[in-house]
Structure 1
Amino acid sequence: QPETLPGLQLPLCPMVGCFGVAPPRGQAISTATSSTYGGNMDYRGFVEGVTVYLPVEAPGALFFLGDGHAIQGEGEIVGTGVEISFDVTFSVDLIKDKQIGWPRAENETHLLVAGNARPLDQCVEHATSELVRWLEEDYGLSAQTAHSLLGQCVEYDMGNVFDPAYTMVCKIEKALLEQLGAKRDY
């Protein structure tokens, strides 16, 4: 008989655990993992209203999406959240001539970058480096300003730590960029 948590009531917090585009070089990779193209990131912040940017490496992008969770703890440490079927409505726009290295996202309050790799410190490096690049290229911050800002104000969230590649999300508050007068051009 499975163990239960009698009497425990948890709020619904629906999220998308796995989405992305075709990986580079025509690779056929399991959706159980993640990398530059997205994949099974299981990050609790991928919820309704988030805008995600993915690097497109294949004609037509070949977007995929699945792994709905009603709720999940940070890191998906037991290999699953409360799995659900779900209907998702999304739109896709192409930003021509824009090159990015890792999945980027934004919500009302933060810019976020997901780094996917093993070991965990490699995720942190990928996510942090890509956020610095985003701040420099799209918001006009100098390398020194971007590093100083992140050095004092960066936040990290854990995504997947169960599957072949881990996910770490590096994020910064948009309000801090507004205080610096930094704006992007798209």
Structure 2
Amino acid sequence: MALVCNKGEARNDTKPGAIHYLKATPETVHWGYFSPDISPALTIRSGDLVAAEAITHHAGDAPELMFDEGVERIFTEIDPSTRAPGVHIMTGPIYVEGAEPGDMLEVRYLQMVPRNNYGSNLAANWGHLYQEFGETERVTIYELDPNANTAQALYAYDFPGKYLVPGTITNCPVCDRQPALAGITIPARPHLGTAGVAPAVHEPVSTIPPGLHGGNIDNWRIGAGATMYYKVQVEGGLFSIGDPHVSQGDGEISGTAIESSLNCLFQIILRKDFSFPSPLLETPQNWIVHGFGDTLDQAMKNASLDMLHLLEEHQGLSCNDGYSLMSVAADFGVTQVVDGTLGVHARIERGMFAGKGVAKDPK
């Protein structure tokens, strides 16, 4: 897979390079924020492979199932007062040699494997229907079947009080466990809810909202077999991953997905031959553009404008032709409504451009 580029310049280092292993430890994660001031946890060259651990901040919802020694160290050794201004445990950052502001990082997600066979969904105070549910919060614990690649609810419990501290550890053995979703099997689709580069702002930037740097996009399609393009904002890019999920629907309406730690394998390629204004997703079938805004209307408009940019700049269509094609062939969907900044994605099939002559990998 490779983004169409009209400049005709060769990309850098497409062949796999060295492989690096990045474990998630209190020393290699940053909890709740992106920042250009974090020292790199790893330095790589373009084309290198990274096997990295992504840890869910909801492992404390069922610690007897979702903790191991490594996860427990992160939860117990990182001061809760420093888990701000966001909530997600981010592994990294990864410094890419030669990456400069304006370049693109092409991140090929190759594999995402659950660290254990359990995950948690929280119907949270930031969920879209919190008021309608009487301002109560509920945890549903799911068990994964790795052979069938499915999930089923194991039990549920009402969260005591209000979930406010990232990484809260619930004493679930004394909770009132209740049956949930009997007979329902859910397809598992492991993916990263949050990943991106460091913004060019010398202060902590919350991991909660998505933005042009990436962040909490919460698109379930960002899984194995997909490629993401992130625009570099600071030297080295400083790329981090976190907020791992094993399943989520578009909208993420209750506040979370099935949150579960993942072991991820990906390749990072430095691209200096094209630019794109927002995080761009490429799957074997589609290009998917992301738009963000304070309202769904604004997010929709931003997704539309960036899809138009893709069609004009990378497929050579006129503005009017691109606008018509978007209306008759692009699918728009609500990515999420629970991260403060709302998300809309626009999807268009790559196969439509196969006969244009320019829709080929740059060599």
Counterpart of 1:72? 248
Shift in Å, 1:98:
2.9
- Write the distance in 1 (CA, Å) between the matches of 2:224 and 2:256: 20
Q: Which amino acid aligns with 1:45?
A: R
Identity in percent = 32
Amino acid paired to 2:340: P
- How many residues are paired up? 186
Once the two structures are overlaid, the 10-residue window that deviates more, 46-55 or 170-179, is 170-179
Q: How many angstroms does 1:180 deviate by?
A: 4.6
Q: Deviations over 1:6-37 (max 9, x none)?
A: 22221211111111111234352111111111
Higher radius of gyration, 1 or 2: 2
Indicate if the aligned counterparts of 1:138 and 1:185 stay in contact, CA closer than 8 A.
no
Runs of 5+ in structure 2 lacking a partner?
A: 1-175
Structure 1 residue aligned with 2:306, among 122, 127, 130? 130
Distance 2:298 2:203 in 1: 22
Given the two structures, how large is their TM-score scaled by the length of structure 1?
A: 0.92
What is the CA deviation profile of residues 27-67 of structure 1, one whole-angstrom value per residue up to 9, with x for unaligned ones? 52111111111111111111111111111111111111111
Q: Distance in 2 between matches of 1:2 and 1:156?
A: 39
Alignment of 1:4-153 (within 5 A): 4-96=180-272, 98-153=274-329
Task: Kindly indicate whether residue 310 of structure 2 is the aligned counterpart of residue 154 of structure 1.
Answer: no
How far is the alpha carbon of 1:182 from its aligned partner?
Answer: 4.7
> Which region of structure 1 is more displaced relative to structure 2, 111-120 or 91-100?
91-100
- Which range is displaced more, 67-76 or 3-12? 3-12
Aligned AA for 2:316?
G
Distance 1:27 1:99, change over 3 A: farther
Q: Counterpart amino acid of 2:327?
A: G
Q: Structure 1 residue runs of 4+, over 6 Å off?
A: none
Distance 1:142 1:110, change over 3 A: same
Distance 1:153 1:57, change over 3 A: same
Contact 1:20–1:38 (Cα < 8 Å) also in 2: yes
- Of Structure 1 and Structure 2, the greater strand share is in 2
Decide whether the 8 Å contact of 1:74 with 1:158 is kept in 2.
yes
Q: What letter corresponds to residue 217 of structure 2 in structure 1?
A: M
Q: CA 1:182/1:143 → structure 2, altered by over 3 Å: closer, same or farther?
A: farther
The letter of the residue matching 1:28 is: P
Structure (1 or 2) with the greater helix fraction: 1
